[in-house]
Amino acid sequence: MFMTLTSPAVENKTAPSSNYVLLHDVSWEQLEQLDITLAGTGAQLTYLDAVLEIMSPFLSEHEDLKKTIAMLLEAYMRIKNIRFYCRGSATLGRQNNKGRCEPHESYNLETKKPIPDLILEVTVTSGGIDKLEIYKRLEVPEVWYWNSGLISVYSLQADGYKKFTKSALLPNLDIELIARYSRMADQYDAVTEYSQIIAV
């Protein structure tokens, strides 16, 4: 399917367990063409400076994990009376920024805005395109990365993203507590118990 594109070069997967492929020298027009071709497959497209990453769909356990973290975060904001708007994985990016991606989950806080205030990414593989560079060009204030049961917070500063142990947008939120409950086996029990703890 990818061989119908004449100019992009396909890079071999970095390891047998990799679940993505990189295409180089991809124009914005070719990106849009592939977007149409792959519609309905569940593949995620990430594009930066003429490099396109095509990621295979999440496994069901990764989808469950992503949703668990989202539900924990949403429970916190509701209990603390923080107004928020779920944006999901709506595609972000513009041709003039030379970048485009689909966040795993995203939110606006307080009011609806064209760009999310907070993005959640669940890392299941290494390598590929650096999404933080895309988010920096779009001026997304904060990005959370879940990896191996831990959550890292990246806050946008004047010179790019810096890693912090707390959220600048939600300074009273205990990131480690969210991460701990994201590791619980049962999603319903995790969200219920977490909600009870923070409501005290």
Question: How confident is residue 8, by pLDDT bands cut at 50, 70 and 90?
Answer: very low
pLDDT at 190 over 60: yes
The Cα–Cα gap between 32 and 30 comes to 5
pLDDT at 179: 96
For the chain, what percent of residues have pLDDT higher than 70? 87
- pLDDT tens track for 103-147: 999 999 999 999 999 999 998 666 678 999 999 999 999 999 999
Higher-scoring residue by pLDDT: 48, 18? 48
| Interval 27-44 mean pLDDT | 90
Residue 43 CA, chain-centre distance (Å), reads: 14
In 3D space, the residue among 105, 108, 133, 87 whose CA is nearest the CA of residue 44 turns out to be 105
Residue 178's contacts (CB-CB under 8 Å, 6 or more residues apart) are 69, 72, 73, 76, 151, 194
Report whether pLDDT(4) > 90: no
* Better pLDDT: 89 or 31: 31
Write down the pLDDT at residue 126: 60
Taking 60 as the threshold, does the pLDDT of residue 5 lie above it? no
Between CA 27 and CA 25 the distance in angstroms is 6
Q: Are 102 and 92 in contact (CB under 8 A)?
A: yes
For 51-103, how does the pLDDT look when each residue is reduced to its tens digit (9 = 90+)?
Answer: 999 988 766 677 888 999 999 999 999 999 999 999 988 899 988 889 999 99
